[in-house]
């Protein structure tokens, strides 16, 4: 069949280089002509942010960051930006920190330069998220897409192994879910496949030696590709499940993705031969499931949602919450019974059933 698709590539500058973040940021500030710069970083990320911003003047540090961007935190950051006539946002940190910068950009239109220190990938998407009264709302707006991303693997050396593994598997979930997401196309599938290859190479190297810079670089590169693929392909079944679980039951983001992924892959793979072939090829294994499973064993990956705060008694409600969001593009129809079986297995950490 001849390929027919509409593809959008988001416009963004990417500066990648270990040990180069401070110089690259100073050059970007000059290029953008910024004078009043708000640096967003959580308290534990501030030392890294100080190092990265050492060559620039006119910075206001804002460290009032919390997971899932509570609306009150967004409003206080927006007020600080207005009060200090900020003309550029620089975020240095994980997805929570990037998320706060996006919340400010959403209402102010201020440009963002993102310096990520995890593998969440928010820096490469135009997706924002805000939490109000325990409900997380997400949306898509090109104003929140950082104009520039500065990747420096040195900044991730301090990310503990467990968090590196969970965060990297969050990236892996972006790649695998892109294979059957609503706007999947040959371009985002190619990016996702290269992302799988890079993450499968980088993450075991980090597990063996957290100071392995080459492993950190490969993982950061894979995380970027994963996010570009996800931004283009949209949210598939895996992301819909994790979004509901994270929002309704306050489960930790990266660990939830890392735990649920093998169950969604095992469920969809038999009905998606092209995706199965591509994923297996990227892992270099006979099947996609075998590839992900071998990686998860090597990484001692998160295994059971019961360990991350999901109560078995909530599963029936979770099924009802997830069902309306199952994408029409999913390669296999999803019934309430299927979802319940998937969530029960993921809750207990049982071996996924094909």
Instruction: Return d(Cα 298, Cα 199) in angstroms, integer.
Output: 13
**Residue 122 in the binding site for ligand NAD (CB under 6 A):** yes
Give the other-Cβ count within 10 Å of 5's Cβ.
10
Closer by beta carbon to ligand NAD, 52 or else 292: 52
> 45-57 as b/e, with b when 16 or more CB fall inside 10 Å?
bbebbeebbeebe
Q: Which of residues 148-167 bind ligand NAD (CB under 6 A)?
A: 155-156, 158-159, 163, 167
User: DSSP string covering 146-173, please?
Assistant: -SEEEE-GGGGTTS-HHHHHHHHHHHHH
Smallest gap from residue 2 Cβ to ligand NAD (A): 32
**Residue 235 in the binding site for ligand NAD (CB under 6 A):** no
Instruction: Return d(Cα 300, Cα 291) in angstroms, integer.
Output: 14
Token code pair at residue 187: 């371009």
Smallest gap from residue 168 Cβ to ligand NAD (A): 10
Smallest gap from residue 66 Cβ to ligand NAD (A): 9
**Residue 168 in the binding site for ligand NAD (CB under 6 A):** no
Smallest gap from residue 42 Cβ to ligand NAD (A): 5
Closer by beta carbon to ligand NAD, 166 or else 280: 166
Smallest gap from residue 320 Cβ to ligand NAD (A): 22
Element (H, E) at 16: strand 13-16
Residue 115, C-beta contacts closer than 8 angstroms, at least 6 positions apart: 21, 25, 49, 52, 90, 91, 92, 93, 149, 150, 152, 155
**Residue 253 in the binding site for ligand NAD (CB under 6 A):** yes
**Residue 67 in the binding site for ligand NAD (CB under 6 A):** yes
| Given 12, 24, 53, 125, the residue binding ligand NAD (CB under 6 A) | 125
| Given 45, 152, 177, 293, the residue binding ligand NAD (CB under 6 A) | 45
| Given 74, 120, 244, 342, the residue binding ligand NAD (CB under 6 A) | 120
**Residue 99 in the binding site for ligand NAD (CB under 6 A):** yes
Residues β-bridged to residue 130: 137
End-to-end CA distance of the chain: 28
Instruction: Return d(Cα 170, Cα 351) in angstroms, integer.
Output: 19
User: Which residue, judged by CB position, is nearest to ligand NAD in the bound state?
Assistant: 95
**Residue 58 in the binding site for ligand NAD (CB under 6 A):** no
Token code pair at residue 144: 């929140």
Smallest gap from residue 228 Cβ to ligand NAD (A): 11
Instruction: Return d(Cα 48, Cα 165) in angstroms, integer.
Output: 21
Q: Which of residues 79-98 bind ligand NAD (CB under 6 A)?
A: 93-97
Q: State the number of binding residues for ligand NAD (CB under 6 A).
A: 27
Q: Which residues bind ligand NAD (CB under 6 A)?
A: 42, 44-45, 67-68, 93-97, 99, 117-118, 120-122, 125, 127, 129, 155-156, 158-159, 163, 167, 253-254
């Amino acid at each position: 069949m001849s390929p027919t698709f509409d593809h959008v590539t988001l416009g963004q500058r990417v500066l990648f280089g270990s040990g180069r973040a401070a110089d690259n940021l100073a050059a970007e500030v000059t290029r953008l002509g910024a004078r009043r710069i708000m640096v967003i970083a959580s308290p534990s990320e501030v030392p890294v942010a100080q190092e990265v911003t050492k060559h620039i003047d006119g910075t206001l540090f804002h460290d009032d960051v919390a997971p899932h961007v509570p609306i009150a935190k967004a409003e206080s950051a927006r007020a600080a930006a207005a009060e200090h006539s900020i003309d550029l946002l620089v975020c240095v940190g994980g997805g929570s920190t990037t998320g706060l910068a996006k919340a400010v950009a959403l209402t102010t239109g201020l440009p963002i330069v993102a310096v990520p220190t995890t593998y969440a990938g928010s820096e490469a998407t135009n997706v924002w998220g805000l939490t109000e009264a325990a409900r997380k709302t997400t949306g898509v707006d090109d104003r929140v897409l950082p104009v520039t991303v500065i990747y420096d693997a040195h900044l991730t050396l301090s990310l503990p192994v467990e968090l590196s593994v969970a965060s990297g598997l969050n990236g892996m979930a972006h790649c695998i879910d892109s294979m059957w997401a609503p706007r999947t196309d040959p371009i985002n599938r190619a990016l996702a496949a290269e992302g799988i290859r890079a993450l499968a190479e980088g993450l075991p190297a980090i597990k063996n030696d957290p100071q392995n810079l080459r492993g950190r670089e490969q993982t950061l590169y894979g995380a970027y590709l994963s996010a570009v693929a996800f931004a283009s392909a949209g949210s598939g079944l895996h992301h819909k499940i994790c979004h509901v679980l994270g929002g309704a039951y306050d489960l930790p983001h990266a660990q939830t993705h890392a735990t649920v992924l093998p169950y969604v892959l095992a469920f969809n793979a038999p009905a998606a031969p092209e995706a199965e072939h591509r994923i297996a090829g990227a892992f270099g294994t006979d099947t996609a499931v075998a590839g992900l499973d071998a990686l998860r064993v090597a990484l001692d990956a998160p295994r059971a949602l019961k360990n991350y705060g999901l109560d078995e008694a909530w599963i029936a409600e979770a099924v009802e919450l997830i069902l309306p969001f199952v994408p029409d593009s999913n390669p296999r129809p999803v019934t309430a019974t299927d979802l319940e079986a998937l969530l029960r297995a993921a809750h207990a950490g049982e071996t996924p059933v094909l």
